[in-house]
Every structure is written in C-alpha cells, then in structure tokens.
Structure 1
C-alpha cells in the first residue's frame, strides 16, 4: 500500500512528465520555424517553406497538448499541495502569473496568424508573428525556470508568520541558479527539436521521399544537434559544480557517495542500497568523481551519511543521471557521425537514417531523466531549506489520489500514442504543396481571406 504523500508525489511526477514533453519541443521548434521562414525570405527557395508548412502543424499539436496538460498541473496546487501556495504563494503566484501573461500575450495572440495567416496577411506580418511566438515560448520557459531556480536556491525573501515575503524581486528573478538551469533547459529543447526533425526527416527519406525539402530538414536537425550537444555537456558540467555548492546532498546521491571521502570514484554502475547504506556491485573509475566535481583527483566529496534524514532517495537520482548522461553521449556520437556523412557526401547512409529514426524522441528521454535528477534530487524539500514536501501536502485520501492517478496515466498513454501516430501520419503525407495565394503572400502582397 502506498500512502497519500507518495501517491501525490507520483501523480505530480506523472503530470509534469507528460507536460514537459511538449514545451520541450515547442520552445526550440518555434525558433526553427523562424529559421525556415527567414531562409525562405532570403533565398526564395521553396524547400524552406515546405519545412515551415510541415513543422508548423507539429508545433500546433504540441502547443495544444502543452497548454492542456499545464492546466491539469495547476489544479493540483489547490488539491494535493495547498501548503505550497499557503507558504510561498507570495513569490510563486506572481511568477506563474508572469508565465501565463507571456503565453497569452505573445504565444496565443499571434499563434493563429502564424498557423493560418500565410497567404492572408503580408509576408512581413507573418514572419513577425512567427518571431513573436518564438519569443513568447522562450519567455514562458524563462518564468517557469525562475520559479524552479528559486525553489532550489531561495533568495530575496523573508519569513513572516510562516509565509515567505519577497524582499528583492531582482534577487528572486536573477537567482544564482537561474543562468545554469535556463541555459541547460533551452539547449535541451534545442536538442529535442533537432533530433525530432532529423528523425522524422530520416523517416521520410527511408520511405523514398528524397526531395530538397526533406534533405534540408535532415541537415538542419543533424547540424544543429552536432553543434548543441558539446555545448550542453559543458553547461552541464558548470551546472554540476554549482549544484555541488548549493545542494551537496543531491550531488552525493548522483554519485552514490555514502561516506565523505577524498578521491571518490566515478561510478559507472552500482545498485544503491539505502537500508545497508552502501552500493552493491559497484563498477567505477578511480578518483573520477572528485576529478570532475572538484577538478582535483583527491578532492573531498560529502557523503550521504552527512545528510541522514535530509537527502533524496538515492536510486532514482543515481540512475536518472546515468540515463541522461548515457543518452547525451549517444546523441554526440550519432549527431557527429551523421554530420560527417552529410559534410563528406551530402547525404547519409541508410543505416545512419535508421539510427536517426531510432533517435527521434531521444531528447524526451534525456530531458525527463534530467528533470527527475533535478526534482527528485531536491527531496525531502519542496523549497530548499524552507518547505518540505510533507508539510505542503493536503488532506486528500490515498484512495482518491490513486484513482485519479490511474485515470491520468491511462489518458496520458492514449494521448501520447495518438500524438506520435499523428506525427508519423503527417510525415507519410509530407508537406502540403504551395498554393497561388501562398506565392502571392511570399511576394509581400496581402491577400484577403476567402472565408
């Protein structure tokens, strides 16, 4: 039997796991749509507009699911986690409001023009609308990451009668943790969109669609991924060093270090045993963890036993981190190999196209694993050092949470299956052909709607 607190945590984890899949695509995909549009404007080459017309459909479906699943999460603040807003609502409330305002004023307002305006408004207005939607998606991510960063490294506030009150919004917004988290998330979105575009383009290529538009999409995805993954590894290292300073218990769980030690090994494999407080079957690189985290092979790393009762569950954090890193290294190998083939011969081999197809949703796997490291790694705190998860939980009985959790999981499985099916259905159909009205709009002439 699972208690209400654990079920509430699993339910929120399920909801945020489903939700994060779609903003992870749309944040970067909006900018890639702008790239396709600007390339079309500059060259007049129809292959870029083919990519725009194809990927804007996937953007629309992803955006819709992201909005709907985000609403579901907001309800849980009032049902399962009332203590969160009661304690830190003076800070979390305004930040979430800023995110909603960004989404509505920038994304929702201009989304219709971006989706349906080509051929009905001037080319310049359509391009500017795409730019504004891209800015809106990034602003939404910015405000969410501001709140996430503050929950991990809370600053710029004071506690009065058990409630957090802001003393400096500048400190809250420009949190010491924000730069690392926001950069890491934006690059993760870029990699997710890049592998999605490369994978779906490879799927169309394997089906015999060797048009210039498919080739342009394939090259865009591959070269973007090849450029971003080394940057992500570098930023991830900086993020890890920052986490070491502010959340050493999380780092101890990531590395599976139980006793404080110098020259800690980098564990490649182990089965953390929390009851025995040791690792079973460890395989590691001597001094590796100390070298990476302290840049000194004999650097000291605090162990989990220093935080007994106040450290996260070890196994989920330990393995989520290794999944994230493993997928990241696989991305590096695949992207660079594919980029080498494209650079040398202008095309990829059939085997490489199959590999890219298999990597289509690899960005999702890495992002979700990284998000688990971040959020599970903060436990038992909801707001680090301020509010525990147990103190924020509401009085909803376990049976009710379990029932709604089962309903959520069933619905999410169906929606995710349909979503992936729609993407591949669109890929089989290909990009729609240009119309006369499209051609007129590309020349800068606004054509009135015939509706």
Structure 2
C-alpha cells in the first residue's frame, strides 16, 4: 500500500494543532482571572485572594509551559510538510507570526517570571502590573494568531501573482472579514474554559471542605462569569455563522448536512451523512429551523454541497457531528450557569453535592467544545488552505514522501504523549496540594498532614478516596 504524504501531513498537523490548542484557550482565560485576583488582593489585602492567585499562578505556569513546548514545532511543519504554502504566504504570514513573538511572547515570558517569583521581592503594585501584562500578552498573542488563521479562511488585502501572495493592504489583511467574529468567539471560549476549570477544581475542594472561604469565592466568581459569557457565546456564534455563510457557504452546508440548495431547510438533530451518495440517512430534524437560524427567515435559502464538485467538498460527517457536539456542550454550559443562579439562594451553590459533582465533570467539557469547534473551522475549509485560492494538494512539500511523513507523525505522537503525561502528572500534584501550600498561612500549612500523592486524589477522578470527607447529602 502506497502512503499518501498529503493525507499523513494533514493528520500530523491536525494532531499537533489539536494538542496545542487546548493550552492557549485555557491560559488566556486563566491569566485574566489571575489578574483580577491580584487586583482584589492589592485592594483588600485579604489572604484568600492572595492564596487563590498564588495557587492558580502555579497552574498557569505548568499549562503555559506545555503550550510553549507543543507550539514551537508548529511553525517548523510549515517548512517540512507545507513548504509550497510557506513560500507562497511568507510575505504575509512571516511578519504576522513575527509580530506575535515580539509583541506577545516576550511580554508574557518576561512578566511571568515576576508573577511567579516576585511576590515577596517586588512591591505589590509591580506584582499586580506583572499579572496584567501577562494577561495582556495572552490576548495580543491570540490577536495575531487568529488574524493569520482568519486570513486563511477569508483572504483579503492580498493578491496572488505567480503562485505568491503579495500584501496590498495590511489593514485589510489583518482585519479580514471573519477576524472580528473569530477573535470574539475564541476570546469568549477562553473565558468559559478558564471559568469551568476554576469552578470544577473549586467544587472538588469544597466537596472535601478544603480552604472553604477561598474556594467559595473562586466558585462564585466563576459562576457569575459563566452565567453571562455562555449566552453571549451563543449570540456571537450566531453572528459568526452568518459571516461564515457569506464567505464559506460550503462549510455551512457541511455543518448542516445540507446537500441541495433549498428553502425551508430543517435543522437536523441527527443524521448519518453519506458523502459517497450525496445524501443523509436516518434524518431527525426540526422543520425550517436551519433556514431561520442561518438567514433569520423561515423561508431562507441555505446553500447545498452539490453546488461544488465532490472533490471540493469538505469531509461532511466530521464537520456535521463536530458542530453538534460544540453546540450541545454550549447549551449544557448555559444550563449550568442558570442552575448556579438558582442555587445562589441561601448559598446553596457551594453546598449542593450534585451541583458540585456536575461542575467537576463540566471542567473538561470546554476543551472538548474547543476541539470540536476547531474541527469545524479547519476541516470545514477543506480542500482549501487559503480559501478559494490555494488548496492542500498545491501546498504540500513536493519532495515529501509517505514514509517520511509517517515517521515524523509517529515521532510527534510518541514525544507529545510523553510531554502530556509528564505535564498532567505534575499538574495533578499541584492540584492535589492545593491552596494549603501557601506562605500566607504557614502555621496551617505546617500542621496539615502530608499524604502521598495518588491518582485517586485528582479533581477529575469520580472515586472518593480522599480522606477529606464530602459534604453530606443535604449540603449543610
């Protein structure tokens, strides 16, 4: 069997990007949370805020490090596996990626050291400033990266001459048609990811009555953010969908599993897309709802996949189901936000075991939703790398063989698995030690019994093997 270097290169890049994406989306939201905690600590001097900031800064450092390690090789793949693409887009992507390093990465790296090690070495105001700069750096980084990715989705401000893209307007290229929606959508996703992770970990600690005051405060802050951000994400997602319908109609057609351009298109809740026969099996849908959602008109026209040749259609099944996973998890997040609001009466939001257990599980769902969203975005663009202008087959390195691509793919999987395992193990150790490991309360920390670490103590393990007892069933 002959190995296809194009398919293997696509799998390799998908693996690396998917592995890397879960880290920035968490650190962006968490950095802003830490900056708020530092601001509250600076204003009030409350040890609870200081403990929370110190603890989550440790978590941030571990995740930031894993993100850096996993992200470095991404740029190298442009040269090794996608050299034609790298050469063609160098006039635009080269400067954009350089701006990201100069304006964002240096800012994050420099002030992260102050944030991590400077609490007792610099004035409190300087420490707060460092936290703000780290948070700002994460947003600047996402600005440039999403601008580059959005340009590939909706190219603007450039022209293609002799196989090379030349910039005709930097402002149009950077602020291309899909960038504002994509930037807002990813920003809100980052806040939701940070909020649910903080809520899930805080809930785990509250179930075991560990640092109740501080974790109650963290949980309360997270639930307020979830209450407002989750519905806002739904609204922004709607605008993003309308923008995608305008500029990438085949991606929307794949999301909806719609094969023929028509009106009164149903919103499919379930279907098994059959791309070979250009049809769906076992459709279950709500009449005309897709037309209304996409065009805000019950009789609106929705494009069909049959408008283009089969070889120009994206892999429909993956896009179709990834979109539904993302939306379903988004609706679940909204429900948890509303449940938190209802349970605020008499402080039940931090004393109700089933709700706290649910938040533990929900702490992982934003990562799944983000990956599903990236699958929709990137796979839905296929077969194009630069929408409508440069496809994947034209972009791959000409001299790359299937054997070479397979060798590097296996290498990445092995190395990344080792990095991920080591990072997660250390992260679980940090979470297990918790807020008690803080110089703010040395006397308590000295008296706290030291217990050996085991996997049974991590926040995402459903077994209750910890010696800290959960709240009783009534929650009081």
TM range (shorter): over 0.9
Separation of aligned partners in 1, 2:105 and 2:138: 10
What secondary structure does 1:280 align onto?
A: strand
Contact 1:34 1:130 in 2 (8 A): yes
Give the deviation of 1:64 after TM superposition.
Answer: 0.7
Separation of aligned partners in 2, 1:411 and 1:277: 40
Separation of aligned partners in 2, 1:147 and 1:198: 32
Contact 1:203 1:427 in 2 (8 A): no
Contact 1:31 1:134 in 2 (8 A): yes
- Equivalent of 1:312, from 289, 305, 314? 314
**Deviations for 1:356-375, whole angstroms, at most 9, x for unmatched residues?**
11111211101110011001
Contact 2:27 2:64 in 1 (8 A): yes
Matched residues, number: 437
Give the deviation of 1:240 after TM superposition.
Answer: 0.2
- Equivalent of 2:423, from 403, 419, 422? 419
Question: Is 1:165 the counterpart of 2:169 in the alignment?
Answer: no
**Aligned counterpart, 1:446:** none
TM-score (ref. length: structure 1): 0.94
Separation of aligned partners in 1, 2:255 and 2:441: 57
Give the deviation of 1:16 after TM superposition.
Answer: 0.4
Give the deviation of 1:421 after TM superposition.
Answer: 3.3
Contact 2:51 2:440 in 1 (8 A): no
Separation of aligned partners in 2, 1:206 and 1:38: 28
After the TM superposition, which residues 49-448 of structure 1 pair with which residues of structure 2 at under 5 Å, given as runs?
49-308=50-309, 309-346=311-348, 347-394=350-397, 395-431=399-435, 432-435=437-440
Moved more, 285-294 or 97-106: 97-106
Contact 2:4 2:402 in 1 (8 A): yes
Contact 1:204 1:427 in 2 (8 A): no
Separation of aligned partners in 1, 2:25 and 2:243: 23
Separation of aligned partners in 2, 1:304 and 1:113: 53
**Deviations for 1:336-356, whole angstroms, at most 9, x for unmatched residues?**
212321344252411111111
What secondary structure does 1:378 align onto?
A: coil
Moved more, 151-160 or 29-38: 151-160
What secondary structure does 1:430 align onto?
A: helix
**Aligned counterpart, 2:471:** none
**Aligned counterpart, 1:442:** none
Separation of aligned partners in 1, 2:335 and 2:440: 40
Separation of aligned partners in 1, 2:345 and 2:307: 52
Separation of aligned partners in 2, 1:327 and 1:435: 38
Separation of aligned partners in 1, 2:291 and 2:246: 14
Give the deviation of 1:295 after TM superposition.
Answer: 0.9
Separation of aligned partners in 2, 1:18 and 1:313: 21
What secondary structure does 1:165 align onto?
A: strand
Give the deviation of 1:141 after TM superposition.
Answer: 0.2
Moved more, 389-398 or 6-15: 389-398
Give the deviation of 1:418 after TM superposition.
Answer: 3.6
Give the deviation of 1:160 after TM superposition.
Answer: 2.3
What secondary structure does 1:269 align onto?
A: strand
Q: 1:279 to 1:293 in 2, by over 3 A?
A: same
Moved more, 177-186 or 214-223: 214-223
Separation of aligned partners in 2, 1:240 and 1:356: 29
**Aligned counterpart, 1:441:** none
Separation of aligned partners in 2, 1:284 and 1:3: 38
Separation of aligned partners in 2, 1:11 and 1:202: 37
**Deviations for 1:115-135, whole angstroms, at most 9, x for unmatched residues?**
101000111111111111111
Contact 1:258 1:278 in 2 (8 A): yes
What CA RMSD, in Å, does the superposition of the two structures yield over aligned residues? 1.5
Give the deviation of 1:400 after TM superposition.
Answer: 2.2
What secondary structure does 1:60 align onto?
A: helix
TM-score (ref. length: structure 2): 0.89
Separation of aligned partners in 1, 2:103 and 2:124: 24
Unaligned runs of 5+ in 1: 438-451
Q: 1:221 to 1:423 in 2, by over 3 A?
A: farther
What secondary structure does 2:344 align onto?
A: helix
Moved more, 135-144 or 417-426: 417-426
Contact 1:342 1:348 in 2 (8 A): no
Separation of aligned partners in 2, 1:379 and 1:320: 15
Separation of aligned partners in 2, 1:237 and 1:74: 32
